[in-house]
A and B are shown apart, each in its own frame.
Chain A
Amino acid sequence: MIILASIRLALRALRRNLLRTLLTMLGIIIGVAAVISVVSIGNGAKKQVEAQIATLGQNVILVLSGNVSRGGFSMGFGSAGTLTQPDLEAIRKEVEGVEGASPEVRVFSQLANGNQNANVQVSGVSADYLSIRAWPLKSGNNFTEQDVRGATKVAIIGQTTKKTLFGDSDAVGQSIRIKNAPFTIVGELAAKGMNMMGSDQDDIVLVPFTSALKRLAGGTSFRSISVQAVDAKLVPGVQHDLDDLLRQRHKIQDGRDPDFLIRTQQEISNVATSTSRVLTVLLGSVAGVSLVVGGIGIMNIMLVSVTERTREIGVRLAIGARTRDIMMQFLFEAIALSVIGGIIGIGLGAWISGRLSGVMGSPTVVAANSILIAFGSSALIGIVFGYFPALKAARLDPIEALRFE
């Protein structure tokens, strides 16, 4: 008996008892839909994190200043300020494959334009900062190396801050006061949106780091230095060289903990995505359990069906069906149940994740591989849970089966 005929036979048998067929499929439908929607939510979260990581810039390596321990408690990296301007110069000069480097000095400070004022993060950076973070200007210009060297009082303003202080009028060329020192606005940043933590990246003012150190923060150290490699392939080499250089400059012996921390974008994104991945796996496996339960439902109904149709099996055997023919008939019925259930489940899952992305405001991504896996696993469930009932049917004795009431 050819496979096509077996499939036709299976579909006809399933159509004969439509309500039972649908109810049996329900387990698989729910299981597959759950798996698809959970995985798509996970994928969406991952995509979102990756997109946010990408806003850091391309091929960026972050060097964080060392941590301070107070009474045994670490205050976190960046708190000690072990990175200095000579370190920055050395990185620029001595490490090969560096496109640009920018330190960051952060100060929260009161800003004022006339009677408008705001508390905003002021970041002291170098002229490379905008290109490292791939952050275009909406209008005006970047400040220059001369501005940095001369610690000029110039500033670039983020969109949110600009709206707070200037409303809709043009900010470039205007003057604002940061800690009572007048700064001239030379450029206006394009909007960048929220970062991973959900804070507004556009509520910011950039000034030359020299000006920030001299006029706003005081001190001489940076919380971090962002280094951009020329090419993605050079990132590991640059990371390694940075480590060597800074260990040497900070006189840290081999085997001792350094007073700085180097993180590539990849490492940052790995940490960020691992949490959502763990959650996805956890929820996915709960959904997977419901798939198995659905499979048991199929097995149960197939066993009932075999018993009900004992006489039919007897007739088929009597008129010349081989063991394999009967086996295939019932196996295909189970597979058809689970695969059709799987297809409906995939559709339902896609629909649910579409709705969820609307409700939660975060994107969901129904990945092709999760569809394939759901489809494959539902087919597998059909085979696994259909096998035993099919075997039971195929092994019936034709005489006994014909006599069955």
Chain B
Amino acid sequence: MTPIIELRDFKKTYKTGEIEVHAVRGVNLTVQAGEFVAVMGASGSGKSTLMNTIGCLDRPTSGAYLLDGVNVGRLQRDQLADLRNQKIGFVFQGFNLLSRTSASENVELPMLYRRPAVPAAEQRRRALESLTKVGLGQRGDHTPNQLSGGQQQRVAIARALVNTPKLLLADEPTGNLDSRTSIEIMGIFQELNRGGMTIVMVTHELDVARYAKRMVVMRDGRIVTDQAVEGMSSAQEELARLDAEQKAVNLAP
């Protein structure tokens, strides 16, 4: 079976004037379909560069990157855009929803750039389906400022899923959320993963990384740890435990 992500001796060098910055100094990484990978590392470790490359926003300086069997290194700007549109769903730290635009219209956005074009009625149907998947089927008319942070991130996840991508790419998805909402979002990720979705998530919080199946740690542009998560957390159980604790102090009804 073709791996979803295959990086071979991937290097990325930026030139700022005379100085060459080696952001990534040779990474080999293979992610199979159905995996849930957390990428960790301090700032400057090269994890952002790695994610940008995996997300087809950038191309390797040297080495090869194959996304679902497609060699990304040779593609032009617009071909990369099409690839992102069809194969990757993005979830950002800052949600990045369009303000003053309803949730369902935000979710429809990736279909706007789908080739061949998706009929308007089909767009609405799929947007609603996607919103229902993240538990917001009734909130399609709400604009982002009428939604809580957790709900906004769910809309963003619905948007990422609407084009049925091969890979869900999340960059610090819980960075702007409180701990309980974070666990809820991780719950959605785990559920999607159980349904077969491949997920790669960047985080700097170890307890968030514990919801993934596999953990990759980067330092100085190289992978230093790549192992299965031992004692993987279950969002469902965590939420149940949290509810019980809150009940004990009468915080929750």
Chain A residues in 8 Å Cβ range of B159: 319
The reply on A390 being an interface residue by CB < 8 A is: no
Q: Is the CB of B81 within 8 A of A320?
A: yes
Of A311, A320, A399, which one neighbours B82 at CB under 8 angstroms?
A320
Question: A12, A315, A319: which has the most chain B beta carbons within 10 Å?
Answer: A319
What CA separation (Å) do A209 and B55 show in the bound complex? 100
In the complex, which residue of chain B has the Cβ closest to the Cβ of A317? B81
For the complex, give the distance between the alpha carbons of A282 and B189 in Å.
69
B101-135 residues with Cβ-Cβ distance < 8 A to A are 101, 109-110, 112-114, 117
Please tell me if A323 contacts chain B, counting CB pairs below 8 Å.
yes
Tell me if B113 and A319 are in contact (CB < 8 A).
Answer: yes
A311 to B96, CA, bound (A): 7
Q: Is the CB of A318 within 8 A of B55?
A: yes
Per-residue B-contact encoding for A133-165, CB less than 8 Å = 1, 0 else: 000000000000000000000000000000000
Q: Taking the complex as formed, is B85 at the interface, i.e. its CB lies under 8 A from any CB of chain A?
A: yes
Whether B96 and A315, one on each chain, are in contact in the complex, defined by CB atoms closer than 8 angstroms, is yes
The answer to whether the Cβ of B18 comes within 8 Å of any Cβ in the partner chain is no
Q: Which residue of A lies closest to B83 (CB)?
A: A320
* A322 with B78: CB separation less than 8 A: yes
CA distance A2 to B98 in the complex (A): 20
A145 CA / B109 CA spacing, docked (Å)? 89
Q: Does B92 contact A (CB under 8 A)?
A: yes
Taken residue by residue from 28 to 65, chain B's Cβ proximity to chain A (1 for < 8 Å, 0 otherwise) reads as: 00000000000000000000000010010110000000
Chain B residues with CB under 8 Å of A9's CB are 112
- Residue with the highest number of chain B CB atoms closer than 10 Å, among A16, A315, A398: A315
With a CB–CB cut-off of 8 A, which chain B residues contact A317? 81
> Contacts of A12 on B, CB cut-off 8 Å?
101
- A319–B52 Cα gap in the complex (Å)? 13
The residue of chain B having its C-beta at the shortest distance from the C-beta of A17 within the complex is B100
Per-residue 0/1 for B208-251: is the Cβ within 8 Å of any A Cβ (1 yes, 0 no)? 00000000000000000000000000000000000000000000
User: Quick check: A322 and B52 within 8 Å, CB to CB?
Assistant: no
Are B57 and A320 neighbours in the complex by a CB distance under 8 Å? no
Residues of B within 8 A of A322 (CB): 77-78, 81-82, 113
Please, how many residues of chain B have a CB less than 8 angstroms from a CB on the other chain? 25
A318, B100: Cβ atoms closer than 8 Å: no
Q: How many residues of chain A get a CB closer than 8 Å to chain B's CBs?
A: 23
Determine if A399 and B86 form an interchain contact, defined as CB atoms under 8 angstroms apart: no
B-facing residues in A297-332 (Cβ within 8 Å)? 311-312, 314-325
The 8 Å CB contact of A399, one of B57, B77, B84, B163, is B57
What residues on A are CB-neighbors of B100 within 8 Å?
16
Given A16, A316, A324, A402, which contacts B92 in the complex, CB threshold below 8 Å?
Answer: A402
Q: Please, how many angstroms separate the alpha-carbon atoms of A399 and B52 in the complex?
A: 7
Q: Are A2 and B110 in contact (CB under 8 A)?
A: no
Q: In the bound complex, do residue B84 and residue A319 qualify as a contact, i.e. CB atoms below 8 Å apart?
A: yes
Say whether B82 contacts A323, CB under 8 Å.
no
**Residues in B whose Cβ lies below 8 Å from that of A197:** none
Complex CA–CA separation, A27 to B84 (angstroms): 40
Fill in one digit per residue for A321-362: 1 if any B CB lies within 8 Å of its CB, else 0.
111110000000000000000000000000000000000000
**Is B10 part of the contact surface with A, judged by Cβ < 8 Å?**
no
Chain A nearest CB from B58 CB (Å) reads: 6
Bound-state CA distance A319–B57 (Å) is 10
Asked if A320 contacts B113 (CB within 8 A), the reply is: yes
In the bound complex, how far is the Cα of B101 from the Cα of A312, in angstroms?
A: 12
Complex Cα spacing A9 to B112, Å: 10
Q: Find out whether the CB atom of A1 lies under 8 angstroms from the CB atom of B112.
A: yes
User: Contact between A320 and B52 (Cβ–Cβ < 8 Å)?
Assistant: no
Question: A320 contacts which chain B residues (CB < 8 A)?
Answer: 81-82, 84-86, 110, 113-114, 163
Q: Please, how many angstroms separate the alpha-carbon atoms of A110 and B170 in the complex?
A: 104
Interface residues of A in 1-40 (CB under 8 A from B): 1-2, 5, 9, 12, 16
14 inter-chain pairs at a CB distance below 8 angstroms, sorted by A residue, are A318-B55, A319-B85, A319-B109, A319-B110, A320-B82, A320-B84, A320-B86, A320-B113, A322-B82, A322-B113, A323-B81, A324-B78, A325-B113, A402-B96
Chain B residues close to A by CB (< 8 Å) = 52, 55, 57-58, 77-78, 81-82, 84-86, 90, 92, 96, 98, 100-101, 109-110, 112-114, 117, 159, 163
**Other A-B pairs beyond A314-B96, A319-B113, A325-B113, 18, CB < 8 Å:** A1-B113, A2-B117, A9-B112, A12-B101, A312-B98, A315-B92, A319-B85, A319-B110, A320-B82, A320-B86, A320-B163, A321-B81, A322-B77, A322-B78, A322-B82, A324-B78, A399-B52, A402-B57
Among all A-B residue pairs, the 10 with the closest Cβ atoms: A320-B85, A320-B113, A319-B110, A322-B78, A315-B96, A321-B113, A322-B81, A320-B84, A398-B57, A320-B81
